[in-house]
Amino acid sequence: MSELVEVVVRGLGTGSVYALLALGFVVIYRATRVISFAQPAFMVAGAVAVSFLSDEIGYALAVPVAVLVGAALGLAVERTTIRPMIGKPVFVIAIITLGVDVVVRVFVNALIGTDVRQLGDPWGLETVSVLGIAVQQRFVASFVVTGLVVAALFAFLRWTRYGLAMRAVALDQEASMAQGVSVGKVFALSWALAGGLAAVAGAFVGTGSGIDQTTYIVAFAALPAIILGGIDSIVGAVVGGLGVGLVQSLVAAYQPDVAPWLGSNFQVVTPYLLMLAVLLARPYGLFGTPEVERV
């Protein structure tokens, strides 16, 4: 039983990272109808920023600054590469973001170097006692912080003018423009938000083991999360991210005993199989809106 609790907490912890990344994907998609493959690079950039800054100003201050760095990076990318491509086919822009990912990662990997870099987080591998069961602190911290960030995002979308503008642009770009919403600013804001969210994800992805040049692969598990949650749903992103993390953790813990023929590290593939299963039942994801196809 205690093992199950530990596994669930680990799943929620890693799921929070996926949820943050998925939120970034969804925010960009809602505004621009593009999937940005640059999120892994933003995540690692945020992690590197935290890793360098936490030596100077401590982890707690480094994370907000890293968020600003991530947001600035997202904004820069949007202005230079996405803005000229407004109106072009969505697939082309998605591939451009792939190119951006490659370029940003080269610079970020150069900063990481060949060794594993530590983030300087206060949790390390220590455990805390929850209901009498020892669970790792970093997972609890990750979950709590993600919850706060998601709540802040919901509040922003619900109660501020720019949140309203973003929701309007997500529904219909032309109508929003007609109503006086600056669609360009909303695009920029979406990318900046996505960069910031990815930076928070990066701040937690490296706790406990540090970051190295292969850390960016973790971010790809967020793609099935957005598909199964619904590509344009904020709630779906969070549910999808947490779900993927939870299922991954359960599979990692129990699959070697239950079904060893599936091979080792089967949990890497599980998010995609989960996504396929959900798509068979609900082709637009759990919370997604069905697309209207016109001739």
Partner 1 sequence: MTTMLPTKRETSDATVIAPTRRRSKPLRGRPGMFTTYAQELRLLNTRPKRIWVSFIVLGAVLLPFGVADDWLRLLAVGYVAAIGAIGLNLVTGYAGQVTLGHAFFLGVGAYTAAVISGDPDGRTLGLGITFLPVWLLAAGVVAGLCGLLVAPLAVRLRGLYLAIVTLGLVFLGEHIFKEWGAVTGGPGVGRSAAVPSLFGYELDQDGPFFTGMQQMYLLMLALLIIFAVLARNLMRSKVGRAFAAVRDRDIAAEIMGVGLTKHKALAFVVSSFYAGCAGALFYTVTGFFDPGSFNLLLSVQFIAMVLIGGVATISGSIMGALFIMLLPRFTQELPSLLPVVSSSPTDFPNVFQVESVLYGLLIIGFLIFEPRGLFGIWIRIRNYWKGWPFTY
Partner 2 sequence: MTTRRTNTLALLLAASFAVTACRAEGNGSEASEDEGGIQTDVGVTSEACPEAVNADNGCIYLGTISDLTEGPFAPLAVPIVAAQKAFWQRINEQGGIGGYDVDVTTYVRDNKYNPEVHNQVYQEIKGEVLALAQTLGSPTTAAILEDLKASDVVAAPAAWTSAYDFEDVILESGTNYCFEAMNSVDWAVREFGAENVMAVHYPGDYGGDAAGGVEAGAQALGVEYADVETGQGTTSQGGAIQAILSQQPDVVFVTTGPADAAAIIGQATAGGFGGAFVGTSPTWNPALLQSPAAPALKAAYYQSGPWAPFGGDTPGHQAMRDALGDVTPSDGHTAGWIWSYPMKAALEAAVDNGDLTRAGLLEAVKGLDTVDYEGILPEAAGNYAAEPGEAAFRQSLISKVDEAAPTGVSVVEELFASEAAESYEFSGPCF
Binding site for partner 1 (CB under 8 A): 35, 81, 84-85, 88, 90-92, 94-96, 98-103, 105-107, 110, 114, 220, 223-224, 227, 231, 262-266, 268-269, 271-273, 275-276, 279, 283, 293-295
x-or-dash string of contact with partner 2, 131-170, rule CB under 8 A:
-----x----------------------------------
Angle between helices 161-171 and 183-205 (to 10 degrees): 100
Candidate list 92, 125, 151, 152; residue touching partner 2; CB under 8 A: 125
* 227: phi then psi, degrees, rounded to nearest 5: -65, -45
Q: Is 179 in the site for partner 2 (CB under 8 A)?
A: no
Q: For residues 111 and 116, which CB has a smaller minimum distance to partner 2 in the complex?
A: 116
* Cβ-based nearer residue to partner 2, 268 or 279: 268
CA dihedral 15, 16, 18, 23 (to 10 degrees): 140
The correct pick among 21, 73, 253, 274 for binding partner 2 (CB under 8 A) is 253
Q: Return the number of the residue (7 or 231) whose C-beta is nearest partner 1.
A: 231
Residues 190-219 interacting with partner 2 (rule: CB under 8 A):
208-210, 212-214, 217-218
Q: What is the DSSP letter of 80?
A: I
Residue from 127, 128, 162, 235 in contact with partner 2 (CB under 8 A): 127
- The answer to whether 133 touches 6, Cβ cutoff 8 Å, is yes
Query: Considering the rule CB under 8 A, would residue 256 count as an interface residue with partner 2?
Result: yes
Structure-token pair, residue 270: 């599980």
Q: At residue 263, what is the residue type?
A: G
Cα–Cα distance for residue pair 12/5, rounded to 1 Å: 10
- 106, 243, 283, 291 from 277: Cα distances, Å: 35, 13, 10, 19
**Rounded-to-integer distance, Cα 182 and Cα 135, Å:** 47
Site for partner 2 in 47-106 (CB under 8 A): none
Contact 153, 234 (CB under 8 A): yes
- Please, which residue, 91 or 254, has the CB nearer to partner 1? 91
- Pick what 184 binds: partner 1, partner 2, none; C-beta below 5 to 8 Å, kind-dependent: none
